[in-house]
């Protein structure tokens, strides 16, 4: 009996993933165990015809039954490793991991990647935003009975140097979003064979690059998904990279433009002193960012005569560096879907200036921005391993930049196929994100509202958390977005007054209302300042108006 027939036959003996069906007939003695069912998946081949984009099919390389762990609550499951074979034999295969719980809830969760991908996403972790920290500890979807899976995005694990995979057309296309479809289709064929049916609900969750992939799922492959969660989605590769490069140049390539750590802290502290209390409470979080725009002036920190005279003030050159980030960066030509600008970045709204942008020693190659922009410029745009990102002028590469934007960017407001069969989309953004600025996510949501009008609320929820950055922040958001999504898709109950929990060690457990854009949490003036019920969602928080 071949593998596919064997797995399907085993599945017929299973009801809703709850294990072998009880049977008093003599054949019951031959009912396969969970270990037998799992082992039968090893060596399974998924034909290319089952995958909606060109491949040479997919192969299961191993399948191992993993025992339940009573201490963690992890159930018994079959851990499957395999690969989707690239159509171009010189391109990397897509490596994937699939987790098949013995007791299945009938639903699946696909996890997105991060950064340049190239790391196998196991699907064993919590969903984005539901962190494993103290009172905000969450349960991974697998532990709740979901089939879970992820991949390396079709980027060879440990690709060195970073970004060099982009010299291969198929690898670049996989990174740009096609791996979402190839992985999903291959895995669904295995799932259907294992359980005897497709999942009743298929979800996608991801943050940053995974958030980009989540929007790719909604925009390009909407028929495949019932619900999607996208945290701080890096949906504009070229726009983000070009703006990061511009800000990096201002800080590191112009004499006197860099701000040392003392000056970085000076800006952050002054912004917080000026703006923290605008929401009615001083709690280390700038919630009223629009009010902060009016209240704070960087000119108040100007050194006498504009020359650098110490760490207690800013030179004109350093003020110009900050203003380069605090203003929208406009492109010389339109990118995909008419995008003409990106920003501002939240440098005057309480964001941490270090890490992503400014390093601690003024070493330009140590900037987080450099670590991403240099490979993209050299391998994605210039397509030359021997090239340099020094003095790069994107205007000389207009054709290539626009091509990459069309290939990669997930800024298309047309999600008709996704919504037609009842798909639901949750987007989450932080005000302090220095990698994916709130303005960019705001802009995409406004495009959705322009296309769908008031009806957009029937299938999209967009939440903005003050103090939250790129997965961290002065308010480290923890929210069970997957459960909210599941209730919305299954029970038709949209999120109502969701509550955000802070997972930072020093403020662990405090809560705030998670407000739908363009609102933000304002203290009512009475009651415990650490309790969400003492705040109301109010005001306006449009970051780019």
Catalytic residues: 208, 433, 470
Q: Which of 459, 482, 373 is nearest to 146 (CA)?
A: 482
Distance between the two ends of the chain, CA-based, in angstroms? Answer: 65
Euclidean distance between CA atoms 244 and 293, whole angstroms = 21
Nearest 10 degrees: Cα torsion 114, 116, 121, 126: -10
Euclidean distance between CA atoms 376 and 382, whole angstroms = 8
Q: Which of 38, 518, 532 is nearest to 290 (CA)?
A: 518
What's 200's DSSP letter?
A: S
Lookup result for tokens 């941490």:
352
- For 439-453, letters b (16+ CB in 10 Å) and e give bbbbbbbbbbbeebe
Query: Are the beta carbons of 123 and 148 closer than 8 angstroms?
Result: yes
Euclidean distance between CA atoms 541 and 288, whole angstroms = 7
Residue 300: asked if its preceding bond is cis (omega within 30°), the reply is no
Euclidean distance between CA atoms 475 and 293, whole angstroms = 20
Residues facing residue 60 across a β-bridge: 82
Euclidean distance between CA atoms 88 and 171, whole angstroms = 9
Rg (CA), the chain: 25
Euclidean distance between CA atoms 430 and 397, whole angstroms = 32
Upper half-sphere CA count for residue 533 (Cβ side, 13 Å): 2
Give 456's contacts (C-beta < 8 A, 6+ positions apart).
448, 449
Say if residue 90 is exposed, middle or buried (CB neighbours under 10 Å; 0-12, 13-18, 19+). Answer: exposed
Alpha helix segments (H runs only) across 277-394? 289-295, 316-326, 368-375
Residues facing residue 522 across a β-bridge: 536
């Amino acid at each position: 009996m071949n593998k596919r027939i064997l797995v399907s036959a085993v599945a017929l003996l299973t009801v809703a993933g709850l294990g072998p069906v009880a049977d008093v007939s003599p054949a019951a003695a031959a009912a396969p165990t969970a270990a037998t069912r799992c082992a039968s998946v090893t060596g399974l081949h998924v034909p290319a015809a089952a995958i909606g984009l060109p491949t040479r099919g997919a192969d299961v390389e191993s399948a191992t039954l993993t025992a339940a762990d009573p201490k963690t609550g992890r159930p018994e499951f079959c851990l499957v490793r395999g690969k989707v074979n690239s159509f171009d034999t010189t391109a990397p295969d897509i490596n994937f991991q699939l987790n098949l719980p013995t007791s299945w809830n009938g639903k699946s969760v696909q996890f997105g990647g991060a950064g340049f991908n190239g790391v196998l996403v196991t699907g064993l972790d919590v969903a984005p935003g539901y962190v494993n920290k103290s009172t905000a500890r969450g349960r991974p979807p697998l532990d709740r009975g979901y089939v879970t899976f992820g991949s390396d995005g079709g980027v060879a694990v440990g690709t060195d140097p970073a970004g060099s995979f982009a010299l291969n057309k198929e690898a670049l296309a996989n990174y740009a979003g096609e791996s979402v479809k190839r992985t999903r289709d291959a895995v669904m064929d295995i799932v259907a064979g294992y359980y005897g049916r497709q999942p009743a609900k298929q979800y996608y969750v991801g943050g940053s690059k995974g958030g980009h992939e989540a929007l790719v799922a909604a925009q390009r492959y909407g028929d495949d998904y019932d619900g999607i969660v996208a945290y701080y989605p890096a949906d504009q590769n070229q726009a983000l990279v070009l703006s990061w490069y511009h800000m990096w140049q201002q800080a590191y390539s112009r004499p006197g433009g860099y701000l040392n750590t003392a000056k970085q802290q000076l800006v952050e502290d002054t912004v917080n002193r000026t703006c923290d209390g605008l929401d009615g409470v001083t709690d280390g979080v700038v919630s009223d960012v629009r009010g902060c725009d009016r209240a704070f002036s960087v000119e108040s920190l100007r050194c006498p005569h504009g020359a650098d005279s110490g760490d207690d003030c800013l030179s004109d050159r350093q003020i110009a560096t900050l203003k380069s980030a605090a203003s929208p960066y406009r492109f010389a030509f339109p990118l995909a879907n008419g995008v003409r600008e990106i920003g501002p970045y939240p440098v005057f709204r309480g964001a941490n200036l270090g890490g992503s942008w400014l390093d601690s020693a003024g070493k330009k190659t140590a900037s987080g921005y450099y670590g991403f922009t240099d490979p993209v410029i050299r391998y994605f745009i210039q397509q030359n391993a021997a090239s340099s990102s020094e003095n790069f002028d994107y205007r000389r590469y207009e054709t290539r930049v626009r091509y990459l934007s069309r290939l990669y960017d997930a800024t298309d407001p047309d999600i008709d196929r996704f919504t037609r069969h009842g798909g639901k989309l949750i987007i989450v953004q932080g005000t302090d994100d220095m990698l994916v600025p709130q303005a960019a996510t705001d802009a995409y949501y406004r495009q959705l509202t322009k296309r769908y009008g008031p009806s957009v609320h029937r299938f999209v929820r967009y939440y903005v958390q003050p103090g939250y950055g790129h997965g961290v922040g002065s308010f480290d958001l923890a929210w069970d977005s997957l459960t909210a999504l599941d209730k919305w898709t299954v029970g038709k109950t949209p999120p109502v007054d969701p509550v955000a929990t802070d997972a930072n060690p020093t403020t662990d457990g405090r809560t705030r209302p998670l407000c739908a854009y363009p609102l933000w949490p304002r203290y009512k003036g009475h009651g415990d300042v650490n309790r969400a019920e003492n705040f109301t969602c109010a005001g306006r928080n449009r970051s780019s108006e």
